[in-house]
Amino acid sequence: MIKVKKLKYRFKSTSFEFNFDLNSTDIVGVLGKSGSGKSTLFNLLAGFLSPNDGSVFLNGKKITFLKPSQRNISILFQDHNNFNHLSIFENIILGIDPDMKQTQSNLKIVKNIMKKVSLNIDLQKKVSDLSGGEQQRVSIARCLLRKKSILLLDEPFNSLDPGLRKKLYEDVKSMSLTNQITTLISSHLIEELKTVTDKFLFIDKGKIVENKILSYNQLLKNKSFKEYLQ
């Protein structure tokens, strides 16, 4: 369970404040206009930004000022998070083995997760030689492999074709439920998000509307959300 209490962050003249509670296995769509605070929220949760005030609790433990590496959180940004000088295998296995050992066990793990993301390429190939969509799938594979308590996906599948996006959404949903992972997905593809969840956080002008999770039908009653859809 993750609890965000009066988490505040200021950048120049812009202020953000977040309040909400999420349970394990919750899959939540995070919606809002560009600049509303979606990525800011993800960076605060992951520890890449330090708040000016407020708290973040994960399973009852305060993690507000822990380093990113000390948090039981995995995050995928829009720019993939890959290491271009490493191979596909090294980029993926890095999620669970910092030494990137090419053991038979590790090779089997990487091959299996590559199948899940429809990545049928020589796993010794350098990531820098891949297309943007292929690089994105390498990042997704590493995130799925880590199985952290919290998974943050910031516009994760935008450069992929609709068929593969649908499959990956299904994989994320299955993994979240099976492993009791709380998953937040930031995306403008609302119709696709609706296929995996009816729980949404809508961020408007740096704040979460009503400070809680809302269903899609509940969001439709909100004036700001209606304007967002136009």
104-158: per-residue pLDDT in tens? 999 999 999 898 888 889 999 999 998 877 888 898 888 888 878 899 998 877 7
What is the pLDDT, as a whole number, of residue 177? 84
The identity of residue 210, as a single letter, is E
User: What does the alpha-carbon distance between residue 78 and residue 11 come to, in Å, rounded to a whole number?
Assistant: 21
65-82: per-residue pLDDT in tens? 999 989 999 888 766 678
Predicted confidence (pLDDT) at residue 61 exceeds the cutoff of 80 = yes
pTM, two decimals, is: 0.85
- Residues of the chain above pLDDT 70, percent: 99
The pLDDT, as a whole number, for residue 19 is: 94
Contact 51, 44 (CB under 8 A): yes
Each residue's pLDDT tens digit, 164-211: 888 888 888 887 888 888 999 998 889 989 999 999 999 999 999 998
User: HSE-up of 106 (CA within 13 Å, CB side)?
Assistant: 18
Per-residue CA distances from 108 to 83, 92, 104, 123, 225 (Å): 21, 12, 6, 11, 45
pLDDT of residue 84: 87
For residue 87, what pLDDT is reported? 95
Q: Is the dihedral of CA 204, 205, 209, 214 positive or negative?
A: positive
What pLDDT sits at residue 79? 65
- The better pLDDT of the pair 117, 43 is held by 43
Q: What is the pLDDT of residue 222?
A: 92
Residues 23 and 213: beta-carbon distance below 8 Å? no
pLDDT over 90 (residue 53) = yes
